[in-house]
Chain A
Amino acid sequence: MIEDKLLEIKDLTVSIKQEKEMMPVVKGIDITIPRRTVVGLVGESGCGKSMTAKSINHILPSFAKVTGGSMMWHESSGKVCDIAALKEKEIRKRCGTDIAMIFQEPMTSLNPMMCIGDQIKEVLMIHKLEKNAEKAKARVVEMLDSVGIPEPAMRYRAYPHELSGGMRQRVMIAMAMIGSPKLLIADEPTTALDVTTEAQILKLIRKMCEDYTMSALMITHNMGVVSSLCDYVYVMYLGTIMEQAPTAELFRNPLHPYTRGLLSSIPKMGNNPEFLETIPGNIPVDKKKFKGCEFCLRCSDDIKKCFFEQAPLYKVSENHYVRCHVTGTGAASYTDEVENPDREYATAGKEG
């Protein structure tokens, strides 16, 4: 499907410790990030997006662990390396130079006790990209300038609390870019910002991807961010990829009921609706093994099969895959639809 791969995540499983039991929150997902591409990973809170992102550069919280799968990193020389299996010291050599990350909350993600310039310079120092302190400082100032920070030489000595949210996120981007990474992981980079700043930051990320011929993995719950930035989208629900398609294709022809729900939840301008569209129900909390489709309890199109069997990823067209029994197989099996007798049983079983 894609020849020029950069990172190939295969069957990734992340589990969290819960009462001495390991509970999977990312359940064997496959994501491929090609070179020079912005890949989006969309889903609502708690679906495992951030866990996926943090497992790439090994910064999962202590209660979470990668319990399966591989992450093949393709060097430009053609060499392939499984970064999921790397030790702490080895993965740190890649962080900052190969893989960089920006976070959701730029206030808490910057060290409040260090001036921003030194925090950016640290990347150069750790990886010995610049040995001369003066030259390193000059490079930092140059970088601050290119992410759109006014008076960069003066701002070098500024502390995070002296900057606005948008400025801080620009600092985070400068910090990510100074090592010229090949992959930028952006974990909801605009969630904490207001809408006008959001647009500027997204534009900046796009520009950086082009200037540095860099790929990006955009983690977001915002379909607007996806449409303005991403080339290819993965839709994730409860730790499983439900649908994947090029952005334009996904918006034109969403197939999974969850994707449709997400898209119709976007408020539309002009027609002043009485209600905002939502997806009914909540993310189910169920510790027990459930073999069916995770979305079927909230789905309006579900058939009996959905309850007993997770759908495979059906190939709809070139690059467009969907994990749904109903829409994936050409929407053929609507006849199968019955009132689901097991639904009440499932709800009762949850409490037991």
Chain B
Amino acid sequence: MSGFLRRCVGVLLVLLGVMALIFIVLRIVPGNPAAVLLNEHVNKETIERLTASMNLDKSIPEQFLLYLSGAIRGDLGQSYYMKQPVLKLVLTAFPYTVKLTVFAAAFAWIFGIGVGVISAIHHDRLPDYLFRGVSLLGVSVPVFMVALFLQYLFYFKLSLLPLGYDGSAASMILPAIALGWNSAGSVARLTRSSLMEQFNEPYLDTARAKGLTARQAILTHGLKNAMVPVITMLALQLSSMLSGAVITESVFSIAGLGKLALTAVQTRDMPLLQGTVLFSAFIISLGNIISDLINSILDPRLRV
């Protein structure tokens, strides 16, 4: 329990660090957001008035403290561009991203682990070469390529699935595959090597001496042992999935966190960008804690 508390404190520290970092970086970048927001032809006084109302005339530490005290109260500021509270915008976008990430992770898991297991069992034979090729493609092809290719194949050529996201479950399939593709590739490769490492473990001999066939022994005893590094990796991939979501959500026009972040960057909407980054960091930390929890359930040696 104290371990769990320590992890929570760790998460808070990480969030604080992320907040400070993004805050400073955004303020080092040249250009006054107030000037960007307003028309080129407004006079200087108007710009200054807006600057002051955004607290941008204060020193950076002062601005940070103001932001921090707001954040503790649940106020992440007002979006410059959309003129709405950041928290509200983020919370509206959040469910879409969660849905996308969960579907993508599910695809990466099922596909990646399945392919990895088949590869490992048939190692150095035809199915293995085939699947290894596929997973190498998975690791090396960028997300937007996969997304565009899937749209081309399933919408233009086969007319099976919708082009963009329209709220239906079917329209979530392509984005999920596009986003999960890379992870599926790495999950498959790690599952294969991790499972093959177990092949020489004596406990598999024990399992066979008990009466399990070689394949049963691998699938029941070996796979459980092989899963620990895979779960850890998937949690780490959550971050790359969230950055991939920026692209996927744009290609498939999903109003999620990624799209929100992209809009924020394009319009120099500092509070909104801070809000999305903070939220993403929070999700990634949460994912890591969850993966640790799963691993400690799976592997008794990790329990405290």
Contact = CB atoms under 8 A, between A and B. Distances in A.
A126 interface: yes
Interface string A98-134: 0111010100111111110000001100110000000
B213 A109 contact: no
Given A88-B214, A108-B201, A161-B300, A113 B208 contact: no
Interface string B191-229: 000000001111101111111111000000100110000
A45 B243 CA distance: 55
Interface of A: 54, 57-59, 61-62, 88-89, 92-97, 99-101, 103, 105, 108-115, 122-123, 126-127, 159, 161, 172, 175, 179
A95 B210 contact: yes
Given A61-B200, A112-B301, A92 B208 contact: yes
Contacts of A109: 202-203, 205-206
Contacts of B201: 108
B203 A108 contact: yes
A113 B213 CA distance: 19
B201, B207, B298: which has the most chain A beta carbons within 10 Å? B207
A57 B209 contact: yes
Contacts of B166: none
27 contacts: A54-B205, A57-B208, A59-B205, A59-B209, A88-B213, A89-B213, A92-B208, A92-B211, A95-B210, A99-B209, A101-B206, A103-B206, A108-B201, A108-B202, A109-B202, A109-B203, A109-B205, A109-B206, A110-B203, A111-B206, A111-B207, A111-B221, A112-B299, A112-B301, A114-B224, A161-B301, A175-B206
The 10 closest A-B pairs by CB, nearest first: A96-B211, A101-B209, A159-B300, A126-B211, A95-B211, A108-B202, A111-B203, A109-B202, A96-B210, A59-B205
A101 B210 CA distance: 8
A95 B203 contact: no
Given A103-B205, A123-B210, A159 B225 contact: no
B301 A159 contact: yes
Interface in B290-304: 298-301
Given A88-B213, A92-B208, A113 B225 contact: yes
Contacts of A96: 209-211
Interface in B173-200: 199-200
B300 A126 contact: no
Categorize the interface residue count of chain B.
20 to 34
A175 B203 CA distance: 12
A122 B210 contact: yes
B254 to A, nearest CB: 38
Contacts of B208: 57-59, 92, 95
Contact of B211 (A61, A62, A127): A127
A232 B161 CA distance: 74
Contacts of B214: 88
B202, B224, B299: which has the most chain A beta carbons within 10 Å? B202
Nearest to B224: A113
Given A109-B203, A113-B225, A175 B210 contact: yes
B213 A92 contact: yes
B202, B210, B212, B225: which has the most chain A beta carbons within 10 Å? B210
A251 to B, nearest CB: 31
Contact of A100 (B199, B209, B213): B209
Contacts of A62: 199
A293 to B, nearest CB: 33
A105 B202 CA distance: 8
A88 B225 CA distance: 23
A183 B207 CA distance: 17
A179 B210 CA distance: 9
Contacts of B202: 103, 105, 108-109
Contacts of B207: 111, 122
Contacts of A59: 205, 208-209
A97 B209 CA distance: 10
B205 A126 contact: no
Nearest to A93: B211
B158 to A, nearest CB: 42
Contacts of A126: 210-212
A108 B197 CA distance: 13
Contacts of A161: 300-301
A97 B203 CA distance: 18
A115 B300 CA distance: 9
Nearest to A108: B202
B229 to A, nearest CB: 13
Contacts of A111: 203, 206-207, 221, 224-225
B202 to A, nearest CB: 4
Contacts of A61: 200
Contacts of A94: 211
A126 B217 CA distance: 11
Contacts of A110: 203, 206
Contacts of A115: 300
